[in-house]
Structure 1
Amino acid sequence: MQLTNTPHVVVIMGVAGTGKTTVGPLLAARLGVPYAEGDDFHPQANIDKMTAGTPLTDEDRGPWLDAIGAWAHDRAGLGGVVSSSALKRSYRDRLRAAAPGVVFVHLTGDRALIEDRMSHREGHFMPTALLDSQFATLQPLEADEAGVAVDVSGGPEEITDRAVVALQALSGQPSQ
């Protein structure tokens, strides 16, 4: 897979609190493509449910994944970065069905670090109480999925640097 031939849509994935909303725009800027915040694609009913501390069901996530998939499809050949937890293989398959060229960057990290970061966020609807359900649902990228795992220890710029290097390695590009 050559990321340089056709700009790809990169889906920044991972459990809540890994930094998708922070790293996504930084990565998009580094790649010279637009960024879309995955939370903005949620219907209000999903936000209300999560705010109340209730995990979403697969049925709840369907319209949200379809909206992200439509955005990714519209960006095919143009490139873009979008955040989405994409916790299950079936969710990623749904995104790939809508936009076959998507590449995933799975932000990973120690649960204690992620919980600490979540506890210091302000103004986000996802409570720390849902972190256990996020980890329980998480199915890491499989070998046949186009994507890379990137550790979230360190600051946002460091994580973004790791993501760029990992994407370059995935595409066979030399590191810069």
Structure 2
Amino acid sequence: MIPPVYEPLPYALSGLNFTQLPDCTQQYLQEAKLAPPHAPDANFISAEHLNISTALSSSLIKNDLDLVELRLKTVVMASDPETGIPSRDGLQRDVLAAQERRLQKLLGDVLPERELIFNAFMIKFDALVWLDQQGREHYTPEDWKRYRDALLKPILYHTSQQFVALDNAFTIEG
């Protein structure tokens, strides 16, 4: 199964001072005790990147399981010879209703939850990129966008691989 693709919004914190940051970003920095006038060093910022990336992977596990479960139920239903018999109107209605429930769960619950998990991660991730900017005023907004995207790419790749590995594990077991 191809994992859902997350497309983050472009990096938009370049050149902002702390009070100009979105409230949720300010709140995260304050809770993490990273808000100015604190000036965390690069090692601390790297450690926090690792912490939030690990938390992202953990947060996605249940969501990944829900996606795999929905896919497996769809495969089971599609391969069930009973569901393909058109003369059984009641059975067909039940099958269609079950498909509708799965689709509603996917579009109404599972995928929006996944988006919320990633959005919460991105608030923290972009806040850490903003912290990295302090004292580096010679970088352009485009430099920071490239920097952020380069840091983010392996994390998003890892989350996709985590999903694929889980899906493969259930497919092999099934």
**TM-score over 0.5 for the alignment?**
no
Which structure is richer in relative contact order (CA contacts within 8 A, separation 6 or more)?
Answer: 2
Question: TM-score, normalising length from structure 2?
Answer: 0.27
Greater fraction helix? 2
Between Structure 1 and Structure 2, whose CA radius of gyration is higher? 2
- TM-score between the two structures when normalised by the length of structure 1: 0.27
Q: Of Structure 1 and Structure 2, which has the larger fraction of its residues in strand?
A: 1
